[in-house]
Amino acid sequence: MMKSTPLVDAPDEAKLEFATSFMGPLVANIMAKEQELLGDWKIDKIVEAAGNEFDEEKSHENLMRILLNGYDSNDSISTIDSSGLTNDWSPKVTLFSFVDCPWCLLAKQLLQEEYQLDNDTLQIIELENLGQEGKHLRASISLATGRTSMPACFINGKSVGGYTDGFFTDDNDATGETSEGFTFVPRSEVDLRMTESKGLASLHETGDLRRLLLER
């Protein structure tokens, strides 16, 4: 949504000031409404942008490899499968980001400054810097979470949502599925949602983020 605005080229300080001003929550609410009304269509477009070579099953395996073992820039995402998984390094938190996204900056600031996560615990992946591989990853994230915006934050391999939004609402039904805001429900075999999460900011405010970071 922010791609076509002057904010894209603004310095990081200006983006942070915007996101933390009274305008930030207003735009976040508009984006949440956009997700509610256009979510299915946006996911279709994201998958379409991934190209004809996008393989949903293989790409999901690659997403899991990255969440469990970290992204190796020397490897090609499109050629690595789950048989290549190792336990050499297991990042606690993976943050998928757009370089020009104000809420991505807020998420990085929270995790790096407030919780002092370093490169041993936190991996930040700028999707736009990965070209077509980044489009494959974004498609896999959307299909596994129903979300189309960034940041996309995963803790211990599960998506907690973005900075201001997650999956849980007061209207969640007894099954834990979100009944408002997400018309797209991931297939059970690829579902990576932490359905009780309301997003990073909410988890931080309730103290649940610290608890999640301490879990093994």
Q: Which of 160, 68, 64, 70 is nearest to 107 (CA)?
A: 160
Q: pLDDT category, 202, cuts 50, 70, 90?
A: very high
Expressed in angstroms, the distance from the first to the final Cα of the chain is: 36
- What pTM, to 2 d.p., does this model score? 0.86
- Cβ burial 50-74 (10 Å sphere, 16+ → b, else e): beeebebebbbbbbbbbbbbbbeee
Which band of pLDDT confidence, cut at 50, 70 and 90, is reported for residue 1?
Answer: low
- Give SS3 for 188: coil
d(CA 91, CA 83): 19
- Cis peptide bond upstream of 151, omega within 30: yes
Instruction: Give residue 78's Cα distance to chain centre.
Output: 20
- What pLDDT, in 10s, does the model give residues 38-94? 899 999 999 999 999 999 999 999 999 999 999 876 554 433 333 333 444 567 999
- Chain centroid to Cα 107, Å, comes to 10
Least confident range of 15-19, 45-49, 132-136, 212-216: 212-216
Average pLDDT, the chain: 85
Q: 131 CB contacts (<8 Å, ≥6 apart)?
A: none
Q: Which residue has the higher pLDDT, 171 or 60?
A: 60
* Domains (range + CATH), the chain: 12-214 (3.40.30.10)
Give the pLDDT mean for 110-123: 94
pLDDT digits (tens, 9 = 90+) for 10-50: 899 999 999 999 999 999 999 888 888 889 999 999 999 99
- At residue 213 the predicted structure's pLDDT band, cuts being 50, 70 and 90, is very high
